[in-house]
Chain A
Amino acid sequence: MSSLGEQNKIEDKAKLSKLARCMLCARQLRGYLIAAFCLWHVFALTLANLRSLEIEKGTLQGDRFEQVTEPFAAYTSLVNSEQDWAMYAPNVPDESYLPILQLSFNDGSQLVLRSSSEPDLLNADASNASSLDPDASESQRRYAWRYRFGGLSKRKFHEHAASGKPSIHAWVRHRLAQHLRAMPSDAQRITRIECRRITISHVDASGYAHFIAANAGFDYAPADDPLWSGPLLPALSNLGSDQDG
């Protein structure tokens, strides 16, 4: 009897040590997995950062480096940890760019619609097309200081739109619809909608920022835009996409 009891005890011990060994193994495996994950994560973040460095002006790390490090950069997007810390780098810009809309009416008059990020012109009517004259006097091109609190996301959007990316169309739709909600009668009179980009020089020794120039831009035709949800513009209905510049 006693030998049977002892044998059971030995078996229990063996079972226990087997269980303990399994637990130890699982713990070790967990440790290795965590270590591998930490190494991967840190490595991926570092490589994603290295991709933005330029060895020489205008020269990134090279196509091969870009190709090899792509999965690491993609991983940072997957986990919402994109690495982009280039604000005011490599230099602080001395100019900003913003989109504007220039509307022409059937009576020959024009109206300028600006983005909410643009400061007010001190000595010129900002809605008048003459305010876009780059040869106007220094005081007419002068911007007032605007005390800023909030609106960073909108400013980011305007900056993005002014860089010529497709988001400019979203801004045009939004700004035009906003104007037509305020002035519905203008829908009957608009003959041309031109989207332009203006350049603003930052504050200089005079103490003010200045309007520099407005580029040529492109014409917008709501009838060609499937995402336009505002009213039809009768005077523009015969314009097609060939008007886009």
Chain B
Amino acid sequence: MKALWEQQRRVWTQRVDGTNAALFRIAVGLVILLDLLITLIPMADIYYQASALLSPETEAQVRNGYWRWSLLPLDASLGLIYAWLAGCAIAALLTAIGCFTRIATVVLFIGLISLHYQNTTILNGGDYTLGGATFLLMLMQSNHRFSVDAWWRERRGKPYSRWIDAWPVRLAQVQLMLIYCFTALLKLQPLVWYLTGSYDSIGDWAAGRAMREAMADPMLARFPSYFLLPMWISAIATWAVVLWELLFPALILMRRTRKFTLLFGLAMHIGIFLTMEIVAFSFSICAYYLLFWPRNWLPRKWRADADANDEPLAKALSVGA
């Protein structure tokens, strides 16, 4: 027990290579910026106007419960909405390049949560993962590498340490583990119901049909990929995906299986992106992968070396974030 406690203490308190957090910051900033420029800004007059697809009745109900909040009034004018979106885009850009990073991430968090709770009917899983990412970025020392802030500090002769606090990075890693583990548990529920006698089938995922049926969804399938997937391939792919999701926390924590886990996940999300219209979710989830990226997969010059300015404990770390 004491050994476990000590191990956990080290995992959460030791400093980690700031490269992974910086890459996460850049990816999240860019995904949000692209989402704003491609999806939200061109459609703002439709998504955020009561004369179009904003339902004040629905959103008033949403804001009534569960500590949901938005600084935008439900009857916000279109001018205010555009100004808000522009502010979010600027904050996302500053976050990506790491300029005034702390302020930019706080503005981005407030800006994005206000937009999300302005019209919840258009949100998908990608929006929720990005929202959580902006909260964690506020807490992370993500500007110690690859940022204008770091460049400026170096010019002034006061460079940042390349090693950063681990705990915000760990929180983001835990979030990704929970996403995969719980999505698998939700998919395997019918199997449990069947075994306990409250349901008459083992469900699409346990039966291996899910992948093929998802591709038969005319609302989301990108092209007629349904016929490219024979049932036996669908079964193998379905079981592999749900098993991988269920075991993700264990597989990613073990150093030996970490690379395989990340490559499998990347392949899966590229597959989803190519076959299904679920763009933001694939990209935002892959941004979290950067927090697990092994140090020895990073270019040598990107890796932080423990030097005289850094914490001695950093030397003990062999794997970043």
Enumerate chain A interface residues (CB-CB to B < 8 A): 31, 34-35, 38, 41-42, 45-46, 49, 52-59, 70, 73-75, 77-94, 96, 117, 119, 143, 145-157, 159-161, 165-167, 169-171, 173-174, 177, 200, 202-204, 207, 209, 227, 229-230
In whole angstroms, how far apart are the Cα atoms of A78 and B131 in the complex? Answer: 11
**A57 and B132 within 8 A (CB):** no
Q: What are the residues of chain B within 8 A of A149 when measuring CB–CB?
A: 222, 277
- Please name the residue on chain B nearest to A168 by beta carbon: B55
Out of A80, A86, A173, name the residue touching B132 (CB < 8 Å). A80
Please measure, in the bound complex, the distance between the C-alpha atom of A56 and the C-alpha atom of B198, giving whole angstroms.
6
Q: Is the CB of B46 within 8 A of A174?
A: yes
Residues of B within 8 A of A57 (CB): 190, 193, 198-199
With A166-B55, A167-B58, A170-B53 given, is the CB distance from A145 to B193 under 8 Å?
no
Q: What CA separation (Å) do A207 and B223 show in the bound complex?
A: 12
Q: Is the CB of A152 within 8 A of B186?
A: no
How far is A203 from B122 in the complex, measured between Cα atoms in Å?
25
| Complex contact A173–B39 (CB within 8 A) | no
Quick check: is B318 within 8 A (CB to CB) of the other chain?
no
* CB-nearest residue of chain A to B187: A89
Q: Which of B109, B178, B199, B226 has the most CB of A within 10 A?
A: B178
A92 touches B222 (CB 8 A): no
Q: Nearest Cβ distance between residue B126 and chain A, in whole angstroms? A: 8
In the complex, the number of residue pairs spanning A and B with C-beta atoms less than 8 Å apart equals: 218
> Which of A59, A93, A117, A153 makes the CB contact (< 8 A) with B124?
A153
- Interface of B with A (CB < 8 Å)? 12-13, 38-40, 43, 46-47, 50-58, 61, 65-69, 109, 112-113, 116, 121-125, 128, 131-132, 134-135, 167, 170-171, 174-175, 178-179, 182-183, 185-190, 192-193, 196, 198-199, 203-205, 209-210, 213-224, 226-227, 277-280
Assuming the contacts A74-B67, A80-B132, A150-B277, asked whether A143 and B121 have C-beta atoms less than 8 A apart, the reply is no
**Cα A138 to Cα B69 with chains together (Å):** 48
Task: Report yes or no: A56 in contact with B183, Cβ–Cβ below 8 A.
Answer: no
Q: Are B58 and A42 within 8 A (Cβ)?
A: no
Residue from B39, B167, B198, B277 in contact with A34 in the complex, judged by beta carbons closer than 8 Å: B167
Known: A45-B178, A78-B68, A92-B217. 4 other contacts (CB 8 A): A31-B13, A92-B204, A149-B222, A167-B55
Return chain A residues, CB-CB under 8 Å to B113.
80
Q: Which residues of A contact B125 (CB under 8 A)?
A: 84-85, 87
> With contacts A89-B183, A145-B223, A145-B224 known, is A154 near B174, CB below 8 A?
no
Residues from chain B with a CB closer than 8 A to the CB of A200 are 218-219
Per the bound structure, the CA–CA distance linking A230 and B53 in Å amounts to 14
A71→B53 CA distance, assembly (Å): 31
Beyond A83-B182, A152-B280, whether A96 also contacts B219 by CB under 8 A is yes
Find out whether the CB atom of B52 lies under 8 angstroms from the CB atom of A92. Answer: no
What is the minimal beta-carbon distance from B3 to any residue of chain A, in angstroms?
18
B109 touches A73 (CB 8 A): no
Closest to B189 in A: A90
Are B277 and A151 in contact, CB atoms less than 8 angstroms apart?
yes
Interface centre among B38, B174, B218 (most CB of A within 10 A): B218
Are the C-beta atoms of B203 and A157 separated by less than 8 Å? no
Smallest CB-CB separation from B279: which chain A residue? A152
Bound complex: CA A70 to CA B68 (Å): 13
Which residue of A is nearest B51, CB measured? A229
Q: Chain A's nearest CB lies how many Å from the CB of B64? A: 12
A88 to chain B, nearest CB (A): 6
Q: How far is B61's CA from A119's CA once the two chains are assembled, in angstroms? A: 31
Measured CA separation A170–B179 after assembly (Å)? 32
Minimum Cβ distance to chain B for residue A152 (Å): 5
| CB pairs A–B below 8 angstroms (23 shown) | A35-B12, A38-B170, A38-B171, A42-B174, A55-B192, A57-B199, A74-B66, A78-B68, A81-B131, A84-B125, A91-B205, A152-B280, A153-B47, A155-B277, A157-B122, A166-B55, A173-B51, A174-B52, A177-B52, A203-B218, A203-B221, A207-B224, A209-B218
